[in-house]
A and B are shown apart, each in its own frame.
Chain A
């Protein structure tokens, strides 16, 4: 087991390394750098001014060198300005150049500066992750139990009317992307045109004080899209378990139907959905980006959009590192959990 986990962690590191290099490559293409220079300086810069801005700020070094600096395995760039002061990647404005460290990258715990928000990347990421974490927590609390109940109800009597109805509902939710369901919810529950006004159409105030009124719609919107999929998996697994021999034995012994479902079937039926729930995380990340944009909730997904549309290289890299780690860690947990829950599978 330990060897399996170590190997998986090794592959994970390699994947993360490749992915960050890809993001680094794409964001450092010259047209993207030009856009960055123009948003930082002004939009009427000439080509020569753009080139000199990029040169002064170390963007025109060879790609592997820049990547090494970002990682912290190569010393950060330095540049002597016309008035003789030393500027550089690792030199904070306001501190003397002599005190600055030679290396400043991920390995030293320095995630760099955001060019859009003009703050430390680590600070932004921490703050935004807390906001999105709260959103995800409520999504999970709503999505997982309701999906499991839905799936078990549908799967315990396969082919019945309940099964048909619930399955159609589950398919409908998987066919409704967040930007459709969110718009529908806002239209019905939040707009003056319909007049119900039960909830708020924006979740900006939920960043400070989340209440049921301003937080329920975004949570519901994300939860609904993922729910159908988990419910269908649970249904399939439940339907399979219900045809097993030991269920028939229990039934012939005269165990009541609720007892069969709760005591005999449920535990075995929940192995497959567990892995699916874990694998839902990367999907939820997509939902988070859409919903945070739609409801103007300035969390992690909103930051991703801001960083990507402004080509904020270091912020975007941090965002992708975090999301890739989330994806890979949940995959690992799902694999380990599967082995742990299902004694028939061994990894050696």
Chain B
């Protein structure tokens, strides 16, 4: 068989991504149909630029989801090596040095093979999954920690604020890479420190939700008890499974090397969120509606969570978008330095690092993951920018 030409490579890649196109089309059709009822999200669909930004992000979300969770888009297994395909260019027909090519295997390496003869295209789309399954959740956890500590620091001020700000500045004064090199090593995993850190950091979402329900419904004990009970049961079950790997039902568990990466990323992001929330709270707490709530005799946590927090959602939403992008960059940095994830892992940082060593001869192993990471982060940053403009308009 002859190698594919460029037009054919593009055509076949597009065909391979069919599930993504369908999912994108469905999302857009539904969103456009109901955009007036969808608030800020619906406003993204008012301009073609906003839609393009959203499409860029969702393209990688769907690629990652289909490839990683459903095994759909990828053409070959991400760890399958073929000695005959080492460093072969894009569009090379799939052959094996030893043994026969399996029946029904995809006949080409669409974007070529890397230095071990693995398929670059499949590794790129699965790399999106590596990001999608960590970055949004790590950002959510960082926000929970940052909000739960930042609100009281900004609201009460005084000693509490001094102490918490000192801690936040302490972590922020560390160069991120030094922190990663100290925290994300196999030796540290042996000592169990990541588990203790996870144990501390993962309590915050539960505390946050309990405070949220209690402050709102403490005048209606039955309702309050129901919400708090559900939060505690589900939260503690997940907490035991994720942080301590001790789920009594044996369903939830978290691979230890992934846990280190997750904890490190949350740990790095939380102080910045803390500073943002603290600053916003200090600004908002002088407003009249806060004074009105205080005069009504509302408790401090009610004021923080139900008066102040909803009013800072705009800047926080923008920062959330940026933070997912930044977390993607951090994950790439970890991969680039070979920290945390296994060396065979198809995440973008590791593949870029492997590809760069051959860069003077072969471009195709390093460039696809580089462009993938660039376009996802760019999409997220542009989306944040669009959201900022929209929320300023209100």
Contacts and interface: CB of A to CB of B under 8 A. Distances in A.
Interface of A: 11, 14-15, 18-19, 23, 26-27, 29-32, 34-35, 167-168, 171-172, 174-177, 179-180, 183-184, 186-187, 190-194, 201, 282, 285-286, 289-290, 293-294, 301, 304-305, 308-309, 311, 316, 319-320, 323-324, 327-328
Contacts of A167: 385
B40 interface: no
20 contacts: A23-B178, A175-B380, A176-B378, A179-B333, A179-B349, A179-B352, A183-B352, A183-B355, A184-B367, A184-B370, A191-B359, A191-B360, A201-B360, A289-B177, A290-B177, A290-B333, A294-B356, A304-B181, A305-B177, A320-B174
B332 A179 contact: yes
Given A29-B187, A309-B181, A324 B356 contact: no
A31 B188 contact: yes
Interface in B322-337: 325, 329, 332-333, 336-337
A323 B178 contact: yes
B377 interface: yes
B356 A35 contact: no
Contact of B187 (A31, A177, A187, A194): A31
Given A172-B378, A290-B333, A327-B173, A180 B187 contact: no
A191 B349 CA distance: 20
B191 A179 contact: no
Which residue, A23, A179, A305, A324, has most C-beta atoms of chain B within 10 A?
A179
A19 B349 CA distance: 28
Contacts of B188: 26, 29, 31-32
B179 to A, nearest CB: 10
Which residue, B188, B193, B361, B363, has most C-beta atoms of chain A within 10 A?
B363
Given A175-B381, A187-B367, A324 B359 contact: no
B385 A304 contact: no
Given A31-B188, A179-B336, A286 B177 contact: yes
Interface of B: 166, 169-170, 172-178, 181-183, 185, 187-188, 190-191, 193, 325, 329, 332-333, 336-337, 349, 352-353, 355-356, 359-363, 366-367, 370, 373-374, 377-378, 380-382, 385
A31 B374 contact: no
Given A31-B188, A305-B337, A323-B175, A193 B360 contact: yes
Given A177-B333, A286-B175, 20 more contacts: A15-B169, A31-B187, A167-B385, A177-B329, A177-B332, A177-B377, A179-B353, A180-B374, A183-B367, A183-B370, A187-B367, A192-B361, A193-B360, A193-B362, A282-B173, A285-B175, A289-B175, A290-B177, A305-B177, A319-B178
Which residue, B173, B174, B356, B385, has most C-beta atoms of chain A within 10 A?
B173
Q: What is the predominant secondary structure among interface residues of chain B facing chain A?
A: helix
Contacts of A293: 337
Contacts, number: 136
A227 to B, nearest CB: 14
Nearest to A228: B381
Which residue, B181, B366, B381, has most C-beta atoms of chain A within 10 A?
B181
A15 B182 contact: no
B57 to A, nearest CB: 12
Q: What is the predominant secondary structure among interface residues of chain A facing chain B?
A: helix
A179 B187 CA distance: 26
A186 B349 CA distance: 16
Contacts of B363: 187, 191, 193-194
Nearest to A12: B173
A171 B385 contact: yes
B80 to A, nearest CB: 25
Contact of A328 (B173, B333, B367): B173
Contact of A175 (B175, B359, B367, B374): B374
A191 B370 contact: no
B369 to A, nearest CB: 9
Given A15-B170, A19-B173, A29 B191 contact: yes
Contact of B178 (A31, A32, A192, A320): A320
A186 B380 CA distance: 26
B352 A180 contact: yes
A236 to B, nearest CB: 11
Nearest to A164: B49
Contacts of A14: 166
A304 B177 contact: yes
Given A15-B169, A180-B352, A180-B370, A290 B336 contact: yes
Which residue, B175, B325, B367, has most C-beta atoms of chain A within 10 A?
B175
A84 B278 CA distance: 61
A18 B167 CA distance: 10
A201 B359 contact: yes
A290 B336 CA distance: 9
B336 A187 contact: no
A290 B178 CA distance: 12
Given A31-B187, A282-B173, A183 B361 contact: no
Contacts of A177: 329, 332-333, 373, 377
Which 9 A-B residue pairs are closest in the complex by CB-CB distance? A308-B181, A31-B187, A175-B378, A175-B377, A31-B190, A177-B329, A26-B182, A180-B370, A289-B177
B178 A175 contact: no
Contacts of B175: 282, 285-286, 289, 304, 320, 323, 327
A183 B385 CA distance: 26
A177 B363 CA distance: 18
A31 B112 CA distance: 41
Contacts of B352: 179-180, 183
Contacts of A187: 359, 363, 366-367
A124 B187 CA distance: 26
Nearest to B325: A175
Given A183-B366, A183-B370, A328-B173, A193 B361 contact: yes
A31 B356 CA distance: 31
Contacts of B182: 23, 26-27, 308
Contacts of B356: 179, 183, 186, 294
Nearest to A186: B359
A26 B337 CA distance: 19
A171 B173 contact: no
Contacts of B332: 177, 179-180
Contact of B382 (A26, A171, A180): A171
Which residue, B170, B187, B373, has most C-beta atoms of chain A within 10 A?
B187
